[in-house]
Structure 1
Amino acid sequence: MAALILELKQGESLLLRGAVIRFKTRTRMELSTQERFLFGKQVMAGAEAVSPVQKLYYALQQAYIGPDGASQHALAEARALIAGQIPSAPPAIREALAALLVSIEDGPGLEALKYARQIIRLEALPAESEIQPVQRGGVKNS
């Protein structure tokens, strides 16, 4: 496997196996083995997770990069959050949540985190906006 070079800015965090690594200076690092990690804007702190969809993203994040025991608990929490939001969500968000639920059937992955970030953006749109469901590769707005 070829090494992956990551460049992180001062103050950014890297989550690796449940450990939070915060960079005090701009850093280039090489990851030479395959491992699940998140960095930069992909990382959401627990205190930032205030809306239901943000809490969902945080649970998926913990399921993706957390230790094995905590990962299963976080994945169960994410499924419960999705199930609780689907009935009352607007149609476009409901469809996106259903797609997210399908994407985590085999466990959390980067695809699930991308869906969750897209749903966060949909949630932030004004209620009167005409929005279309989440598409692979991005959110479409009319």
Structure 2
Amino acid sequence: MPTILLVDNDPEILAALSAALEWRGYRVLLSKDGRSGLEQAGRNLPDLIVTDCSMPEMDGVELCRCLKLYPALTAIPVIMVSAQVQLRQKPALWDAFFLKPVDFNAMESTVGQLLFSRPLRETLRPLWSDRAMSRWQPVTSAIIS
């Protein structure tokens, strides 16, 4: 059963998305902000992350940047959700974008596609000249910015 981490500071949105995904057979983990979401991702290595863009402390964009710094977390696909118009996306920070209110059928289709493509994506490791010594050591170059 695939595990999906939901990161949002709105408990009602967490509850709605959680119920919809659990009903479809996914295991769901919840986090109330980007910082706790990053910690949860490191502890549980979810198969997919769905994050809100606007949150206090660490927003969704910063969460995506941090995920890309850790080799163990970089291959986890991310869906960004926002009440704002499409953000200026930095290349490869997230895999899909949805405006709120989220169309659950479209999200379910995207979740399935991202989970299905993940094993292939994990075998295609990028060739960076400054690889981290360990999969938990952050990458120190400016490859993300």
For normalisation by structure 2, the TM-score amounts to: 0.31
Question: Looking at CA atoms only, which structure, 1 or 2, has the larger radius of gyration?
Answer: 1
Q: Which has the higher contact order (CA 8 A, sep 6+)?
A: 2
For normalisation by structure 1, the TM-score amounts to: 0.32
